[in-house]
Amino acid sequence: MKGSDRITFIRRAFCLAVVSLWLGLLTSPLCLAEVRSVNPSGSDFKKIQAKIQRPDLYIRNNFQWEITGKEAVITGYTGESTELDIPASVTEGSIAYPVTAIGSKAFADRTDLMRVGIPDDIRVIGSYAFAGCSGLLEVALPRRLEQIGSYAFADCQQLETVDIPAGVRTIGIYAFAYCERLREAWFLGAMPEITRERVNWNPVLHAMTPASLIIDRLGDPVDWAAVFKNKLTESDLFRIYFAAGSTGWIPSKNIRPFYRVTYDLNGGTGILPEDAGRYQEGSQVQVLEPAGLLEKPEQQFSGWNTRPDAAAQTIPQAVPYLWLRNQPYCTPDGFRRFLPRLSA
C-alpha cells in the first residue's frame, strides 16, 4: 500500500470510528429514552446533555429534580411561567416519589416569578433557593417545613410579610436579607436556631447534593439581624411577632408576642366560630357569634365565658373588647379560649 493510500485509509477509519461513537451515545441508556431531531440550542439538547452529565437528574414539565432514596428534590425550573405550583410528587417509571426538598439555587434569580405554590410535604428549602426573585409578591411556606437555608429568600424585594411555620427548627443566616419591603415576620412556633450550611456544589447544575446538607449552629449569640440583614437594628418599622407561650423568645422593642382566640363547645353541640386573627397587647378583639345553634340538654346559649363552670365574667357575643393581660378573661399563654355559657 502506497503512503498516500495508507493515509486515506487511516482518515476513513477515524471518521467511521467517530460516527460509530456518536451513534452509540445517541442510543446509550444514559440519554433520554426518546431522541428526535436535536436542535443544539433547544430544550431537547439541554435534556440530553444534562442526562449524560447527571444520570440521576430528571426533567419533566420544565421542572428538574433528582432522586435520593425514596424522595425527590426539586433542583431547577427551565420554563417561563411567572406563577408556579411545585409538584407534590414526581413519577419516574412506575414509581412516584414525594417531593420533600427544594434544592439550593433551584429558582434563584427568576426575577419574573410572582407566585409560587409549595406543597405541604416540603421539609427543606435549600440555600439561595429563591434568592434574587425580585418580583415574588408572596410565599406561603409549607406547614411541615423544618429547615430554611441561608439566603433562601434574599433579595425578594416585593415580599412584605412572611409566616414561619411552627415546625421550622433551623433558619439560615441572611435567609431574608435585602428584602427591602419586608415589614413583618410571624413565627408560629418555638424560636428556631440560626444556622449556616456547608453545601457540596454540583459543577454542572450548581445545585446541592441532598445528602450533603450540613447544619452548623452558629457560635455567636442568637441575633435576628443575621437573618433579616440588620432590619431589627436599622428599621423602626420592621417587627418579629412570635406566638405567645412558645419557647425561646425574649420580647423586645421589635420582637413581640401575639395572641389568638379559640372557641370551645364545653360539652355542648353545635358549630363554633373560628377566629384566624392574631392579636397583640391592647388589640381590639370582636367576640364572634356562634356559627350555628349551640345546644345542651335543658340549657340555652347566653354568652361566652372563660371557665367551664361559667364562674368568670360573661362576655356577650358580638361585643368588642381590648386584649389586656390584666383583664379576667385574658391570659398570656398564647390563646384565649371562650366557652359558651349555657344556662337553664
SS3 24: helix
pLDDT digits (tens, 9 = 90+) for 76-135: 999 999 999 999 999 988 999 999 999 999 999 999 999 999 999 999 999 999 999 999
Of 337, 240, 321, 333, residue with least CA distance to 282? 321
Q: What's the CA gap between 125 and 171, in Å, rounded?
A: 10
In order of 18, 63, 176, 291, the CA distances from 183 in angstroms are: 61, 32, 11, 34
Three-state SS at 220 = coil
Residue length of the chain:
344
- For the chain, percent of residues with pLDDT exceeding 70: 65
Residue 301: name the closest of 340, 267, 339 by CA: 340
Give me the amino acid identity at 212. S
Residue 4, Cβ density class (10 Å: 0-12 exposed, 13-18 middle, ≥19 buried): exposed
Q: Which amino acid is at 83?
A: E
Q: Please write the tens of the pLDDT for every residue from 273-322.
A: 888 888 887 777 777 888 778 877 777 777 777 777 766 666 666 666 55
- Cβ neighbourhood burial of 133 (10 Å; 0-12, 13-18, 19+): buried
3-state secondary structure of 305: strand
Please give the model's pTM, rounded to 2 decimal places: 0.72
Q: Which of 30, 114, 118, 134 is nearest to 74 (CA)?
A: 118
Q: How many helices (H) and strands (E) would you count in the chain?
A: 4, 23
- Cα 104 from Cα 149, distance rounded (Å): 8
Quote the pLDDT of residue 196. 72
